[in-house]
């Protein structure tokens, strides 16, 4: 799949060890971690350029150094492609400077919120991201979305907003595999001047493809993670209402970070250049199709999936009926050559480092083009591990031999 080259010389022995370990992680494991993906080869290649030689403190239209055209051009590409993919108007602002999606969230919060303000977001047990509550400025209160039977109750959201009057709604998740209805949130908040922040770290391809509803007319702020389902470099992007431009840019620099990562800017530009509306639709559709199929097969084998029919790439499983904790199953799967990550489930009484469930993602197996039979076999392997039947070794060996040996360019055509 990926060919990772080593370095000559004894002084690189530990570096080569790390490369070997990375190669084994990528090419010798079936990766079902919910946030994992495979970056485009072109994204990997462009990150080898010596872009840090170009100093670019400041912002696209207000640099503090001369001769920044190379990074300026890359930022302009990002802006143009995001306007196309997210159906954005020319009035909104875009910054590709955040070093991560969590930092993008922090920038939104620290540019907008102050002591005494309230934020409405999903609780961690209901699938919300940790940054939606632990990245907030001091003195900001978090209110949980009302959730019934694992789903956001949009009727209750309106009365909650009327009562609590939050300044901001942060809508996004890390393990809530259903579409979030931003139009209903906008309608519920419109009478109360509550702002909407759409965190699309996991779900950007579904919105870009039009499979999930557009957020461009509903959200005041949009944050993205380029390293997850978009198959780009580690990094974040913020889209914002232009009236917040000054606050956002001051919060980025000099408040929370200095220069952007110049290499990452080039790689983000490459990432977005590789996508168009047709390719992102094909990819996003396959992600959902594979998640539904794997979820169906796991249900048939007796797994308790929290949602029977996922609307994204994530499957959340409660392992209580197998008398296993999430960490137990994570370790057993890792020993068998399959990577999953422990995850709390709604109402979980176990701490997060133990958890009662696991989160499974289908991004990597979708990129590698697993067929229906192999997805069914993968479900069988997971069942064998959970039930301690020890029939999974042949399945895992076959799948790794089929999909992870050899070298693939992983071009856009593969999705």
Q: For 151-178, how does the pLDDT look when each residue is reduced to its tens digit (9 = 90+)?
A: 999 999 999 999 999 999 999 999 998 9
Give the fold, CATH level 3, of 28-39+277-414: 3.90.1150
DSSP string for residues in 43-75: HHHHTTS-GGGS---EETTEESSS--HHHHHHH
Q: Please give the Cα distance from 94 to 265 (Å, whole number).
A: 13
Q: What is the reported pLDDT for 221?
A: 98
Return the percentage of the chain with pLDDT > 90, whole number.
Answer: 91
Burial class (CB in 10 A: 0-12, 13-18, 19+), 258: exposed
Residues near 304 by beta carbon (within 8 Å), at least 6 away in sequence: 317, 318, 319, 320, 321
Report residue 243 as tokens.
Answer: 């009236």
Mean pLDDT of the chain: 94
For range 351-371, the mean pLDDT:
97
Q: Please give the Cα distance from 317 to 331 (Å, whole number).
A: 15
> What SS3 state is found at 410?
coil
Q: Please give the Cα distance from 4 to 6 (Å, whole number).
A: 7
Q: Please give the Cα distance from 359 to 341 (Å, whole number).
A: 6
Q: Please tell me the CATH code under which domain 46-274 is placed.
A: 3.40.640.10
Give the strand pairing for 118-121 and 141-144: parallel
In the numeric block, the tokens 């499974």 are attached to 360
> What SS3 state is found at 231?
coil
Contact 195, 112 (CB under 8 A): yes
> What SS3 state is found at 284?
helix
Instruction: Tell me, yes or no, if the two domains 28-39+277-414 and 46-274 fold the same way.
Output: no
Q: Any idea where the domains of the chain sit in the sequence?
A: 28-39+277-414, 46-274
Q: What is the reported pLDDT for 116?
A: 97
Q: What is the reported pLDDT for 277?
A: 97
Q: Please give the Cα distance from 69 to 260 (Å, whole number).
A: 14
Q: What is the reported pLDDT for 61?
A: 85
Q: What is the reported pLDDT for 315?
A: 98
For range 234-259, the mean pLDDT:
96
Residues in the chain: 415
Q: What is the reported pLDDT for 406?
A: 57
């Amino acid at each position: 799949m990926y060919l990772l080259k080593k370095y000559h010389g004894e002084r690189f022995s530990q570096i080569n060890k790390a490369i070997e370990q990375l190669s084994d992680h990528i090419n010798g494991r079936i990766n079902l971690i919910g946030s994992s993906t495979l970056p485009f080869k072109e994204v990997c290649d462009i990150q080898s350029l010596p872009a840090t030689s170009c100093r670019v403190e400041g912002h696209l239209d207000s640099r503090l150094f001369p001769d920044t055209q190379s990074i300026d051009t890359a930022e302009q590409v990002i802006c143009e492609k995001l306007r196309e993919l997210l159906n954005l108007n020319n009035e909104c602002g875009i910054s590709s400077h955040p070093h991560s999606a969590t930092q993008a969230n922090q920038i939104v919060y620290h540019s907008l919120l102050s002591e005494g303000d309230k934020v409405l977001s999903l609780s961690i047990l209901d699938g919300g991201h940790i940054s939606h509550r632990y990245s907030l400025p001091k003195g900001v209160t978090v209110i949980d979305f009302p959730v019934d039977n694992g789903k956001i109750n949009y009727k209750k959201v309106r009365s909650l907003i009327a009562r609590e009057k939050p300044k901001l709604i942060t809508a996004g998740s890390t393990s809530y595999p259903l579409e979030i209805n931003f139009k209903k949130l906008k309608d519920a908040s419109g009478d109360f001047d509550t702002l909407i922040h759409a965190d699309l770290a996991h779900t950007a391809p579904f919105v870009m493809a039009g499979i999930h509803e557009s957020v461009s007319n509903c959200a005041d702020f949009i944050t993205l993670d380029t390293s997850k389902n978009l198959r780009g470099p580690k990094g974040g992007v913020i889209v914002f209402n232009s009236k917040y431009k000054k606050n956002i840019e001051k919060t980025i620099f000099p408040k929370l970070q200095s220069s952007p990562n110049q290499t990452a800017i080039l790689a983000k530009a490459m990432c977005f250049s590789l996508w168009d509306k047709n390719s992102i639709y094909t990819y996003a559709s396959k992600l959902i199709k594979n998640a539904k199929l794997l979820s169906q097969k796991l249900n048939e084998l007796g797994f308790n999936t929290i949602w029977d029919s996922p609307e994204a790439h994530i499957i959340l499983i409660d392992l209580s009926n197998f008398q296993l904790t999430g960490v137990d199953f994570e370790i057993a799967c890792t020993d068998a050559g399959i990577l999953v990550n422990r995850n709390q489930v709604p109402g979980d009484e176990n701490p997060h480092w133990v958890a009662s469930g696991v989160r499974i993602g289908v991004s990597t197996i979708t990129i590698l083009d697993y067929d229906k039979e192999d997805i069914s076999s993968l479900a069988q392997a997971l069942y064998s591990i959970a039930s301690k039947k020890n029939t999974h070794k042949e399945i895992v060996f076959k799948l790794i031999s089929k999909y992870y040996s050899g070298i693939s360019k992983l071009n856009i055509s593969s999705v």
